[in-house]
């Protein structure tokens, strides 16, 4: 069974966007994964297709209504659907490479894209939405965040990148940042490719790459070394 992603959004026209390009798009065309975007307003019952209301207790902005969103979730992900339900949210747990692997190995995901001031907490609790954040900042909506999550996940699906080793040495795969990469020409603006990389000695190359990864990680992300 291929990976199946469903997006609940006020802007379905944004999808697939970059997810339909390059190797991800080819993977979709080859049936390795699929994507459907659903308009949340289709589940509103009034003639204005209202999906939000003022926040209880006062405050700026608007909040997505729980009854409308619950209807959408239930229609797309009925009882028995094994896919996790995810809400892109700046207050969620940070997206990690480990979580991306876990999702890539599963049947897919149902992703809710918030807007305005967020969504009613009751639907988060009642529909058991897993809140995931892509960083310590706030976006205008969850659509771009959903694309980031799906790109991180879909590229890990077997066959999408072509070879499993394509991501084996990438940043975060082994707890370190990736080592520097080089390619021809041999000399660029007076700087040569490190000699070890053209030596043909695979043992020395592997050692150099490990040392470079450790040095970069210590300088830029020492928190990773603590893990």
**Which candidate, 221, 213, 21, 52, places its Cα nearest to that of 123?**
52
- Residue 169: its pLDDT value, please? 64
On whether the 3-154 domain is CATH 3.40.1280.10, my answer is yes
Provide the 3-class DSSP secondary structure of residue 186.
Answer: coil
Give the dihedral of Cα atoms 148, 132, 106, 7; nearest 10 deg.
Answer: -60
In this structure, are residues 44 and 50 in contact, taking their beta carbons and an 8 Å threshold? Answer: yes
The kind and range of the H/E element at 91 are: strand 85-94
- Residue 222: its pLDDT value, please? 95
Domain boundaries, the chain: 3-154, 169-225
Tokens 């209880």 found at:
56
Give the model confidence (pLDDT) of 9-47 as tens digits. 999 999 999 999 999 999 999 999 999 999 999 999 999
Residues contacting 218, CB < 8 A, separation 6+: 225
Query: Degrees (nearest 5) of the Cα angle 51, 57, 59?
Result: 70
**Residue-wise burial string across 181-204, b where 16 or more C-beta atoms lie within 10 A, e elsewhere:** eeeeeeeeeeeeeeeebeeeeeee
Longest alpha-carbon distance in the chain: 71
**Which candidate, 123, 221, 208, places its Cα nearest to that of 175?**
221
What is the pLDDT tens value at each position of the chain, 227 positions in all?
799 999 999 999 999 999 999 999 999 999 999 999 999 999 999 999 999 999 999 988 999 999 999 999 999 999 999 999 999 999 999 999 999 999 999 999 999 999 988 999 999 999 999 999 999 999 999 999 999 999 999 999 999 997 654 566 676 888 899 999 999 999 999 999 999 999 999 999 999 999 999 999 999 999 999 77
- Residue 22: its pLDDT value, please? 96
Q: In what order do the strands lie in the sheet with 3-9?
A: 33-39, 3-9, 108-113, 85-94, 130-133
Other Cβ atoms less than 10 A from the Cβ of 110: the count is: 23
What is the Cα Rg of the chain in Å?
A: 22
pTM above 0.85, yes or no: yes
* Alpha-carbon span 167 to 159, nearest angstrom: 12
Write down the CATH superfamily of domain 169-225: tRNA(m1g37)methyltransferase, domain 2 (1.10.1270.20)
How many angstroms separate the first and last alpha carbons of the chain? Answer: 34
- Residue 168: its pLDDT value, please? 62
């Amino acid at each position: 069974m291929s990976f199946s992603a469903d997006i609940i959004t006020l802007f379905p026209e944004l999808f697939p966007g970059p997810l339909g390009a390059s190797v991800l798009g080819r993977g979709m065309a080859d049936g390795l994964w699929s994507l459907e975007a659903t308009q949340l307003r289709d589940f509103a019952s009034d003639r204005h297709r209202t999906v939000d209301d003022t926040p209880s207790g006062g405050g700026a902005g608007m909040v997505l209504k729980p009854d409308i969103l619950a209807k959408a979730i239930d229609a797309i992900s009925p009882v028995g659907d094994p896919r996790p339900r995810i809400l892109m949210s700046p207050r969620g747990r940070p997206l990690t490479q480990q979580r991306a692997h876990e999702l890539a190995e599963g049947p897919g995901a149902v992703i809710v894209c918030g807007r305005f001031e967020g969504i009613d907490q009751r639907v988060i609790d009642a529909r058991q939405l897993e809140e995931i954040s892509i960083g310590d900042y706030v976006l205008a909506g969850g659509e771009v965040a959903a694309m980031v999550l799906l790109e991180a996940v879909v590229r890990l699906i077997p066959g999408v990148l072509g070879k499993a080793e394509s991501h084996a040495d990438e940043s975060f795969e082994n707890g370190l940042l990736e080592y520097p990469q080089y390619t021809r020409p041999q000399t660029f603006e007076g700087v040569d490719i490190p000699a070890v990389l053209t030596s043909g000695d695979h043992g020395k190359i592997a050692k150099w790459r490990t040392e470079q990864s450790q040095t970069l990680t210590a300088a830029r992300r020492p928190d990773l070394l603590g893990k």
